[in-house]
Each structure stands twice: as structure tokens, then as C-alpha cells.
């Protein structure tokens, strides 16, 4: 007999209470999910009452219900954005036809691969962040971490719903495997490399949520354009939650920079060692973390030239970022795109067919968006009267995927030798000493309204609450 | 349209560019396509925005929830907003708002209704008397004579709150409790333009401040500083507070078709207010008191939660204390009494939890008026009380809003 009250426990707009097949699949999967959450979810947090935002439906009124909830009791719902009447496939060879409400047989394998790859990233970030609650710089930040955790969990549900609903036995097996792979597990790692990296400290967490969750924004946007309507609608709703994750990253780094600037000005110091001695993170270290997370994240977009990307586009499975807002033929045949490659020891541009360069198109859109936010961090430096400016490194820097994977390229985009790389890499990427220093600052601050020394308070609280609100009640 | 564009105030929706992360959620959510962006900023088109707030809860940052009161003709254009690095300061005109009560609904033609965070009923209680609206405009106001001007707060109290009585003589000016009137201060502002209209809730009941007389009363606080504590002199409030008996005032209105009291005798009123937000509560209470005095059976209960910094700064403190407990259950909250713990209205609501939840089970009408900052705390207190009593506040709230039983006017 079912132990799940589908309408209450799993708020949904996919008619779950009427769908017996889906119920059976979820009844099998859900206990395993809860076991996974217990084993791999946020460490030592099961008793806390956390001020969480829970979606109970997809309307503006139902979208954000705030209240103190124990995370294991969070209502991981299954939501799709509201259906668009007579939606069409907007690109590729099927452009103009009705969007698919079911899986087209010929695209089954590719769609499954796309959904599994996206689904694999969601529990991965929960696993990567599982120890961070023990070193949160404030209750406000702890609450934000937990909000991200439960929403990543919900995004996993969203992908599992698609697998269960549309892919039969194959889908159920893939859904199980999503709980069996684990971030950083040498035998059974997560599919994408960035999701096997550690998130050991809060500076890394903010960088991850700024850069890597932004990859999520662009991937989800491209999938929201899909001709497979259930995938499109699912991703559209996920995007509204992804925004909060990016906010945590953008505002988190902004607050770290602000605090560092305050201390630099207070003591009239600039030397990184002196700045560190005051218990805040020096600006060059923040820049090195930025370089690392930016370069690891842009690898997530895949190889610069990809026939898979062309196939996905041609067949209407995965579009471009803001596909329907673009003013072209949405077929892209005969069109070209300029890529960078190394030739005779220098970076040069070359023209390739646009369809084969769609990973690069999405990566470049992503880079533009990332750079704009870094500009907003620089406004904080500018207002504080500091001359230091954060910059994103060249897109060929520190790459492990695509044409630059075996190259040594400086952050400025110069091809360099292995020896030069080794002599300068400590200036460009976080060293063990950098990470050890940042780790040394991590200590848990849980008194309402108090912040760790290395970070400024946020300008506004969550849901109009004051910053010193009891965001987490420790039981 | 009764009022000229130059004095129509718009509650303009703005996005704080310093906090916004450009995630596009608001643009996706907006049902009327009022939000757009360029490579620099996300902005709201004042001509399209209807203040529905559908974008507010999905915004992850809080940057979306900014509302500046501006003259309609001076609303920030899209181009101006695109160029911002930070939100401009609130313009000088709305500094009067601490004692100006915004009308609910569409009482003032051409003006946006206030958009409180706690959604409010858009119609009056089913048994409310039918109000007269917009009888007098700014172009064609009615002249009232000052019949009295009394200080309500102690002489040494920091805030100067006054009880002002305006007499209409033989002119037609019918009013109901909870309605507002418009006052325009004579003269022009620094730019040589006429001053903006200011709204004041009426503090007297329907049959006049003095029963049987064609007069009304206002509760006016002299504004000498803005919300941040900077010194500023409120034009209309100082004008009103300085009026002498026999002076004349230009009045427009009446305004407000929703924030009205029920007329049936067994309706309970739960009133929550701070400072000059007490004006409509005083009007409703006095109406009920007069009915009771005339032995017109009123089985409906009155419960009042009233907050101020100190007893000396609480308008109507003396008269309130004289009302018998069986007529009205009064809970006063003071936040700045030396040697006493600070208390806000929500604390008092919580303390009175069982009595409040009992009232909420019955035929009760809620009225909230005062500073906007009180809304969240009040809503949370009501939610928690309901939870303890096994009731679901969100659904009850929604039901009360639909039934014209939940009214909020905050500023």
C-alpha cells in the first residue's frame, strides 16, 4: 500500500495522483532518494528548522511559500511551467510543426542522454556542498545553502519525473543510476568533470553558484527551447529556481569583496599578506578562485566543434539560448561561426559551420553573461576606491575539454610553454596554500545577524525578513 | 478624470540595479510584459506596470520590490532606468506619506492603488454602507473651515500629532468610516509648481466628529524627518498642524470604496494600527460606541492592537483608556519605553493568541493601517496563531481577501 499522499507530500501539476504507473515508479525510487539524501545530503542538518521557500504551484501566488521546515520534510514537488497553447518546434528540420508531447522514437536515445546528463548535475552539487553547513559564515548564508540544496534535490526529481514518465524501464534504470553515481567517487563519478571537483570552502561555494549554476541557467535555457514540450516546460520552471542559486553566488562574492575593501581601507593596507593577517580574503586570491571556477565551468559546454550539438539542434531537441528571440532562420544551414584555435604558437580565429559550433555559441553567450556580473563586482571595488579589478581569464585558459585541452595558455590568451605555466600557475590558480588560508577562515557563525569576519552582511534579508531573523532554528 | 496630471501621484515600480542579478525571472513572470532589459539593466515600464506584484515573490534577490511615489508626469522613463548604476533616492514629494494614507482600490482617478505586501480585499464588506466618491476634485474643491486643532500627544513628546476638525457647514460632504479626503497645501514648491495632493484618512464616524454636525476630524502628524531620520519639513502636515480655528482649507474627495466597515450588528472588527494609522480605527470604534450608547444592539466584538513608541506619543491614548473592556478589547504596544522590553503590535497579537484565533473563527473583519514595515510581522503572528489553533492562515487569509474582510492600508 502506498505510503505517499501524492497531493500533499509531492505538490505537482502533472496529475500525479491519477497516474498509477508513475506512482509505482516513484514509490520504488523515493525511498532510495531519501536514503541518498540521508547519506549524501547536508551533514548534520536533519533536525534543523530552516526558513525555506517551497513552491506549491507554478502561479506567482503559489510559487514562493516561506516557512520553517525540516529539510527531510521539504515538499519536493514536480512542476512544469504552464503549457503554451499550440506550441511549435521553433528551430531545426522540424521547425513549424507541433511540439512533441511524447517522445519521438527516433530521438529517444538522444533525449535520454540529454536528460540524464542534466539530471546528473543536480544531486552532484548537493554532494559537493554537503559539508559546507558546518562552516557557514552566518545563519542567513546557512539558510541559502540549504535552500539551494533542496532545490537541487527538486531539480533531480524533475528530471527523474521525465525519465519515469517517458522512458519506461530504461528511464527507471537511469533514475536509479542518478542516485548511485557520486561526486568525486573514483569508481562511479558524476558524468561531468566540474561536478567531481570539491567545494571545500564558502569562497568556492559562492564561485560555484555564480559560475557553475550559471552554466545551469544556459543549459536549461537551451533545453527550455526544446521541441519536446515536457522537457521545455520542466526546464522553464527550474530556471526560476536556478536564479536564486546565482544570486547567492553573485551577492556572496560581492559581500566578500566589500568586506575585504572595508578592512583594506580601515588599515590603509594593500599587501595581500597584510590583508590576510586581518582575517579577510585578499583580492588576488579571489581572482585566482575566479580563474579556476570560470575555466572549469566553461568546459561544461563541451567540445568547440560537435556533431552531437548539430544533431540535437537539427532534430529540435536542444536550441540556443533565447532561440525564439533571435532574428535568423533558426535552421543555421550554410551559416558560419568564428572559433579560436592555436596555429603556429598563437591563437587565431577560424570560420566553421555554425551548426557544428553550437556548443561554442552557448559558451560565448555564457561568457558574456558572466563578464557582466564580474563588472558588477568591480563596481564594489570602484565604490570602495580600490584600483584592483577582477577579470575573467581568456576562454582558452586552463581548459581540459576541446581544442585547448593540451595547451598552456595564459589568462591573457598567450600561448606559453609548460615551464612558463609551471612557474606562474600559482599566480593564476588557487594554490594549496591559498586553499589552506581560505579554509583557516571558515568557522561556523550561527548567532542571528552576526557575520564571519571575512564577509559583509547582505543588503537585504530573505523575503523581507531582517538580516538578524532566525533563518535556521537549531533543535 | 477629476485631477490634473500634474498632481496625480504614481507608485512607480523600480528595480534596484545594485542588487539585481539580471536573471530574467521577473521579465518571464510579468503577465503584462512591463519588464524589459538591455545589456546593463532590467527595468519596469511605468506605462504598462499594473502593480500586480506577480514578479515579486519569484525574484530571488529582493531587488524588484521598490516602489517610489512620483508625480505621474515625472515617472522615470525606460531610458533613465537603463542608465542607472544605483537606485535614485526617493523624490521629495512623497515625504509627506508618513501621515498620508493611500486610498485603496481605484478611488483616486488615474492613480495606482497602493500595492501592499499582504494582499488586501479589493471590495468592501458585503454589509458596508454605499460610499459617495469623488464629489470634489482638485480643480473644483470644497472649502472647509477649521473648527478645532488639538494636540493629541503630550507637550513634551517627540511627535506632534494633532486632531483637526473641519466643518463643511451646509455643503454636501457625506463620509463613511475608513474613507479619506485630499488636502492640497496652498502655494507652490521649489520648482514653482502647485503642491501635490495629500491623502488623509478620516478619524470621525459618518455622523460627524460632533454627532449631528456636518464636520469631520483628521489625525495629522507633523512631519519633521523622513524615514531615514533626516530633517525635512512635510509641506501639508505642517500646513495642517499650524492651522488656526476659523482658517479655511481646500478639500477634495471623498475617496476610498473598499476600506469600509461592515454594517451588520454581529460583525467583529479586528483592528491593527500604528501611529496615525489609528484614524480609521477611531472612526469605526466611535461609530460602534455611539450605536451602543443608543442601545442599538451590537453583538459584534471589537479588538484593537495599537502600537506607538511611548504612551505619550499614542494618539487618543486618554479616550481609549476610558472605553470599557466589554466594549473593546485593547492591546497597546510600546517600543521605546525606558526600562521596558520593546513590544510591537505583532507581539501583542501573539500574546492574545487564543482570543485572536477565536475571533478569526467567526464573522470577523480585519483592518490594518500604519507603517508598511508592520505588515510582515503582523502576517506572521496571525499565521502562527492560526497554526497553534489548528487553522490554516494562508487559506483563511485568501478567503477573507475574497470576501472583503481583510483590508490593509500601509505606507
Q: For the segment B346-364, what is each residue's pLDDT rounded down to a tens digit?
A: 999 999 999 999 999 999 9
**Residue B96, pLDDT score:** 38
Stretch 247-286 of chain A: residues touching chain B, C-beta under 8 Å: 247, 250-251
Q: Do A240 and B29 touch (CB under 8 A)?
A: yes
Q: Do A243 and B54 touch (CB under 8 A)?
A: no
The 10s digit of each residue's pLDDT in B44-98 is 998 888 777 788 888 888 899 888 877 777 889 999 999 998 898 865 433 333 3
In this structure, the strands spanning B35-37 and B329-334 are unpaired
Q: Pick the closest to residue A442 from A281, A291, A329 (CA basis).
A: A281
Cell, residue B185: 497645501
The 10s digit of each residue's pLDDT in B99-156 is 333 333 333 332 333 333 457 887 899 999 999 987 887 778 899 999 999 998 888 8
Q: Which residues of B touch A65 (CB under 8 A)?
A: 394
Torsion of CA A332, A336, A337, A338, to 10 degrees: 180
**Residue B91, pLDDT score:** 56
d(C-alpha B231, C-alpha B218), whole Å: 24
Q: Do A464 and B376 touch (CB under 8 A)?
A: yes
B284 close to A (CB below 8 A): no
Instruction: Give one word for A30, left, alpha or beta, with left for phi > 0 and alpha for psi -120 to 50.
Output: alpha
d(C-alpha B251, C-alpha A103), whole Å: 68
- DSSP characters over A347-373: EEEEEEEGGGGHHHHHHHHHHHHHHHH
Complex ipTM more than 0.90, yes or no: no
For A366, list phi and psi in degrees, rounded to 5. -60, -45
Annotate B250-259 with b (16+ C-beta within 10 A) or e (fewer): bbbbbbbbbb
Residue of B39, B54, B61 with shortest CB distance to A60:
B54
Annotate A175-194 with b (16+ C-beta within 10 A) or e (fewer): beebbebbbeeeeebbbbeb
Q: Return the HEC string of chain B.
A: CCCCHHHCEEEEEECCCCCCCCCCHHHHHCCCCCEEECCCCEEECCCCCCCCCCCCCCCCCCCCCEEEEEEHHHCCCHHHHHCCCCCCCCCCHHHHHHHCCCCCCCCCCCCCCCCCCCCCCCCCCCCCCCCCCCCECCCCCEEEEEEEEEECCCCCCCCCEEEEEEECCCCCCCCCCCCEEEEECCCECCCCCECCEEEEEECCCCCCCCCCCCEEEEEEECCCECCCCCECCCHHHHHHHCCCCCCEEEEEEEECCCCCCCCCCCCEEEEEEEHHHHHHHHHHHHHHHHHHHCCCCCCCCEEEEEEECCHHHCCCHHHHHHCCCCCCEEEEEECCCCCCCCCCHHHHHHHCHHHHHHHHCCCEEEEEEECCCHHHHHHHHHHHHHHHCCCCHHHHHHHHHHCCCEEEEEC
**Residue B65, pLDDT score:** 85
Q: Do B23 and A243 touch (CB under 8 A)?
A: yes
Q: Which residues of B touch A251 (CB under 8 A)?
A: 19, 21, 61
By mean pLDDT, which of A295-299, A427-431, B268-272, B337-341 is the weakest? B337-341
Q: Which residue of A has its CA nearest to B20?
A: A247
Residue from A52, A65, A243 whose CB has the most chain B CBs within 10 Å, to mutate: A243
Average pLDDT over residues B278-305: 91
Distance from CA of B279 to the nearest CA of A (A): 27
Q: Which residues of B touch A236 (CB under 8 A)?
A: 28
A373 close to B (CB below 8 A): yes
DSSP class of residue A405 equals: T
Residue of B21, B25, B117 with shortest CB distance to A464:
B117
Q: Do B24 and A373 touch (CB under 8 A)?
A: no
Cell, residue B64: 524588484
Residue of A65, A240, A372 with shortest CB distance to B22:
A372
d(C-alpha A215, C-alpha A302), whole Å: 11
Residues 6+ apart with CB under 8 A from B265: B291, B296, B297, B298, B299, B300
Q: Do A240 and B58 touch (CB under 8 A)?
A: yes
Distance from CA of A364 to the nearest CA of B (A): 15
Annotate B274-287 with b (16+ C-beta within 10 A) or e (fewer): bbbbbbbbbbbbbb
A466 close to B (CB below 8 A): no
Report the 10 Å Cβ neighbour count for A257: 25
Stretch 94-153 of chain B: residues touching chain A, C-beta under 8 Å: 117
Q: Do A372 and B21 touch (CB under 8 A)?
A: no
Q: Do B60 and A247 touch (CB under 8 A)?
A: yes
Extended beta strands in A45-108, E state? 49-54, 65-70
Distance from CA of A63 to the nearest CA of B (A): 7
Residue labelled with grid coordinates 442601545? B295
Q: Do A240 and B53 touch (CB under 8 A)?
A: no
Residue from B40, B61, B377, B399 whose CB has the most chain A CBs within 10 Å, to mutate: B61
Torsion of CA B229, B233, B237, B242, to 10 degrees: 130
What pLDDT band is residue B318 in, cutting at 50, 70 and 90? confident
pTM to 2 decimal places = 0.68
Residue of A243, A250, A379 with shortest CB distance to B25:
A243
d(C-alpha B98, C-alpha A314), whole Å: 60
Residue from A376, A465, A471, A473 whose CB has the most chain B CBs within 10 Å, to mutate: A376
The 10s digit of each residue's pLDDT in B148-196 is 999 988 888 888 999 999 999 999 999 999 999 988 888 887 777 677 7
Q: Which residue of B has its CA nearest to A245?
A: B60
Residue of A64, A459, A461 with shortest CB distance to B58:
A64
Q: Which residue of A has its CA nearest to B56?
A: A60
CB B237 within 8 A of CB B220: yes
Q: Do B60 and A465 touch (CB under 8 A)?
A: no
- DSSP characters over A129-176: TTTGGGG-SSHHHHHHHHHHHHHHHHHHHHHHHHHHHHSHHHHHHHHH
A215 close to B (CB below 8 A): no
Q: Do B28 and A244 touch (CB under 8 A)?
A: no
Distance from CA of A110 to the nearest CA of B (A): 28
**Residue B372, pLDDT score:** 78
Stretch 14-53 of chain B: residues touching chain A, C-beta under 8 Å: 18-19, 21-25, 28-29, 39, 53
**Residue B93, pLDDT score:** 39
Does B326 or B52 have the greater pLDDT score? B326
As a 3-state breakdown, chain A gives helix, strand, coil percent values, each rounded to 5, of: 55, 10, 40
Q: Do A243 and B18 touch (CB under 8 A)?
A: no
Cell, residue A128: 559537493
Cell, residue B75: 515617472
- CA A268 vs. chain centroid, Å, equals 37
Q: Which residues of B touch A460 (CB under 8 A)?
A: 19, 61-62
Q: Which residues of A touch B60 (CB under 8 A)?
A: 243-244, 246-247
Residues 6+ apart with CB under 8 A from A153: A33, A37, A41, A74, A76, A122, A123, A126
B399 close to A (CB below 8 A): no
Residue of B22, B23, B58 with shortest CB distance to A63:
B58
**Residue B95, pLDDT score:** 35
Mean pLDDT of each 10-residue bin along chain A, 475 residues long: 63 88 90 93 92 85 85 90 92 96 94 96 94 96 96 94 95 96 93 90 97 94 96 93 93 98 96 98 98 96 94 97 94 95 91 96 96 95 96 97 92 96 97 97 95 95 87 91
Q: Which residue of B has its CA nearest to A238?
A: B25
Stretch 47-66 of chain A: residues touching chain B, C-beta under 8 Å: 60-61, 63-65
CB B126 within 8 A of CB B404: yes
Q: Which residues of A touch B28 (CB under 8 A)?
A: 236, 239-240
Instruction: List residues bridging with B197 in a β-sheet.
Output: B184
pLDDT at B295 over 90: no
Q: Do A239 and B61 touch (CB under 8 A)?
A: no
3-class SS of residue A444 = coil
Q: Which residues of B touch A369 (CB under 8 A)?
A: 22
A348 close to B (CB below 8 A): no
Element (H, E) at A383: helix A358-383
Report the 10 Å Cβ neighbour count for A8: 10
Q: Do B39 and A379 touch (CB under 8 A)?
A: no
3-class SS of residue A65 = strand
d(C-alpha A224, C-alpha A237), whole Å: 9
**Residue B310, pLDDT score:** 87
Amino acid at each position: 500500500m502506498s505510503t505517499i499522499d501524492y497531493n500533499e507530500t509531492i505538490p505537482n501539476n502533472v496529475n500525479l495522483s491519477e497516474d498509477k504507473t508513475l506512482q509505482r515508479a516513484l514509490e520504488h525510487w523515493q525511498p532510495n532518494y531519501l536514503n541518498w539524501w540521508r547519506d549524501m545530503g547536508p551533514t548534520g542538518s536533519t533536525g534543523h528548522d530552516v526558513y525555506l521557500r517551497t513552491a506549491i504551484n507554478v502561479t506567482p501566488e503559489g510559487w514562493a511559500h516561506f516557512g520553517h521546515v525540516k529539510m527531510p520534510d521539504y515538499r519536493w514537488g514536480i512542476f512544469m511551467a504552464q503549457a503554451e497553447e499550440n506550441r511549435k518546434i521553433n528551430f531545426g528540420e522540424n521547425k513549424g510543426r507541433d511540439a512533441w508531447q511524447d517522445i519521438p522514437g527516433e530521438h529517444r536515445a538522444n533525449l535520454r542522454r540529454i536528460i540524464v546528463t542534466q539530471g546528473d548535475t543536480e544531486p552532484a552539487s548537493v554532494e559537493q556542498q554537503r559539508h559546507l553547513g558546518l562552516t557557514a559564515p552566518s545563519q542567513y548564508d546557512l539558510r541559502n545553502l540549504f535552500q539551494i540544496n533542496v532545490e537541487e534535490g527538486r531539480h533531480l526529481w524533475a528530471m527523474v519525473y521525465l525519465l519515469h514518465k517517458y522512458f519506461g524501464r530504461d528511464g527507471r534504470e537511469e533514475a536509479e543510476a542518478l542516485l548511485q553515481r557520486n561526486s568525486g567517487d573514483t569508481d562511479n563519478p558524476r558524468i561531468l568533470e566540474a561536478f567531481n571537483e570539491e567545494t571545500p570552502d564558502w569562497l568556492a561555494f559562492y564561485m560555484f553558484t555564480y559560475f557553475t549554476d550559471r552554466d545551469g541557467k544556459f543549459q536549461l535555457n537551451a533545453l527550455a527551447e526544446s521541441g519536446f514540450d515536457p522537457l521545455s516546460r520542466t526546464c522553464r520552471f527550474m530556471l526560476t529556481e536556478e536564479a536564486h542559486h546565482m544570486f547567492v553566488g553573485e551577492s556572496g562574492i560581492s559581500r566578500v569583496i566589500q568586506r575585504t575593501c572595508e578592512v583594506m581601507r580601515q588599515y590603509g593596507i594593500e599587501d595581500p599578506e597584510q590583508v590576510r593577517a586581518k582575517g579577510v580574503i585578499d583580492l588576488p586570491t579571489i581572482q585566482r578562485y575566479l580563474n579556476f571556477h570560470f575555466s572549469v565551468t566553461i568546459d561544461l559546454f563541451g567540445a568547440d566543434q560537435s556533431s552531437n550539438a548539430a544533431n540535437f539542434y537539427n532534430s529540435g531537441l536542444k536550441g540556443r539560448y533565447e532561440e525564439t528571440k533571435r532574428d535568423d532562420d533558426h535552421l543555421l544551414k550554410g551559416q558560419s561561426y568564428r572559433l579560436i584555435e592555436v596555429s603556429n604558437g598563437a591563437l587565431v580565429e577560424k570560420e566553421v559551420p555554425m551548426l557544428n559550433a553550437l556548443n561554442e555559441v552557448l559558451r560565448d553567450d555564457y561568457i558574456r553573461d558572466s563578464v557582466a556580473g564580474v563588472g558588477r563586482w568591480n563596481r564594489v571595488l570602484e565604490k570602495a576606491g580600490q584600483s584592483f579589478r577582477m577579470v575573467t581569464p581568456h576562454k582558452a585558459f586552463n581548459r581540459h575539454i576541446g581544442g585547448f585541452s593540451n595547451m598552456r595558455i595564459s589568462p591573457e590568451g598567450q600561448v606559453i610553454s609548460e615551464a612558463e605555466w609551471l612557474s606562474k600557475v600559482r599566480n593564476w590558480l588557487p594554490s594549496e596554500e591559498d586553499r589552506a588560508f581560505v579554509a583557516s577562515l571558515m568557522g561556523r557563525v550561527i548567532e542571528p545577524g552576526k557575520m564571519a569576519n571575512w564577509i559583509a552582511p547582505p543588503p537585504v534579508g530573505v523575503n523581507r525578513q531582517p538580516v538578524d531573523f532566525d533563518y535556521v532554528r537549531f533543535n | 478624470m477629476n485631477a490634473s496630471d500634474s498632481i496625480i501621484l504614481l507608485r512607480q515600480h523600480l528595480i534596484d540595479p545594485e542588487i539585481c542579478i539580471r536573471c530574467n525571472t521577473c521579465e518571464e513572470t510579468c503577465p503584462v510584459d512591463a519588464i524589459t532589459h538591455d545589456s546593463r539593466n532590467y527595468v519596469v515600464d511605468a506605462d504598462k506596470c499594473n502593480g500586480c506584484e506577480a514578479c515579486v515573490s519569484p525574484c530571488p534577490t529582493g531587488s524588484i520590490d521598490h516602489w517610489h511615489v512620483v508625480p505621474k508626469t515625472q515617472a522615470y522613463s525606460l531610458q533613465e532606468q537603463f542608465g542607472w548604476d544605483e537606485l535614485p533616492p526617493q523624490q521629495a514629494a512623497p515625504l509627506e506619506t508618513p501621515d498620508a494614507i493611500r486610498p485603496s482600490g481605484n478611488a483616486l482617478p488615474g492613480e495606482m492603488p497602493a500595492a501592499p505586501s499582504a494582499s488586501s480585499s479589493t471590495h468592501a464588506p458585503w454589509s458596508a454602507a454605499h460610499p459617495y466618491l469623488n464629489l470634489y476634485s482638485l480643480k473644483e474643491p470644497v472649502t472647509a473651515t477649521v473648527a478645532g486643532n488639538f494636540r493629541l500627544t503630550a507637550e513634551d513628546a517627540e511627535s506632534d500629532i494633532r486632531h483637526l476638525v473641519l466643518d463643511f457647514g451646509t455643503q454636501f460632504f457625506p463620509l463613511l468610516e475608513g474613507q479619506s479626503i485630499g488636502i492640497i497645501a496652498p502655494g507652490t514648491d521649489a520648482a514653482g509648481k502647485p503642491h501635490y495632493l495629500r491623502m488623509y484618512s478620516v478619524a470621525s464616524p459618518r455622523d460627524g466628529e460632533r454627532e449631528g454636525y456636518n464636520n469631520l476630524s483628521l489625525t495629522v502628524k507633523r512631519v519633521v524627518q523622513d524615514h531615514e531620520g533626516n530633517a525635512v519639513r512635510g509641506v501639508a502636515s505642517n500646513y495642517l498642524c499650524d492651522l488656526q480655528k476659523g482658517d479655511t482649507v481646500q478639500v477634495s474627495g471623498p475617496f476610498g470604496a473598499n476600506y469600509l466597515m461592515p454594517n451588520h450588528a454581529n460583525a467583529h472588527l479586528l483592528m491593527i494600527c500604528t501611529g496615525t494609522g489609528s484614524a480609521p480605527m477611531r472612526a469605526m470604534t466611535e461609530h460602534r460606541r455611539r450605536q451602543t450608547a443608543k442601545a442599538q444592539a451590537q453583538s459584534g466584538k471589537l479588538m484593537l492592537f495599537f502600537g506607538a513608541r511611548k504612551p505619550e506619543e499614542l494618539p487618543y491614548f486618554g479616550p481609549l483608556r476610558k472605553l470599557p473592556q466589554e466594549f473593546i478589547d485593547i492591546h497597546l504596544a510600546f517600543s521605546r519605553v525606558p526600562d521596558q522590553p520593546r513590544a510591537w503590535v505583532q507581539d501583542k497579537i501573539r500574546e492574545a493568541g487564543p482570543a485572536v484565533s477565536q475571533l478569526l473563527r467567526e464573522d470577523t473583519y480585519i483592518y490594518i493601517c500604519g507603517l508598511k514595515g508592520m505588515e510582515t510581522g503582523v502576517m506572521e503572528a496571525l499565521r502562527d496563531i492560526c497554526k497553534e489553533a489548528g487553522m490554516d492562515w494562508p487559506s483563511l487569509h485568501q478567503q477573507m481577501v475574497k470576501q472583503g474582510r481583510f483590508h490593509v492600508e500601509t505606507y
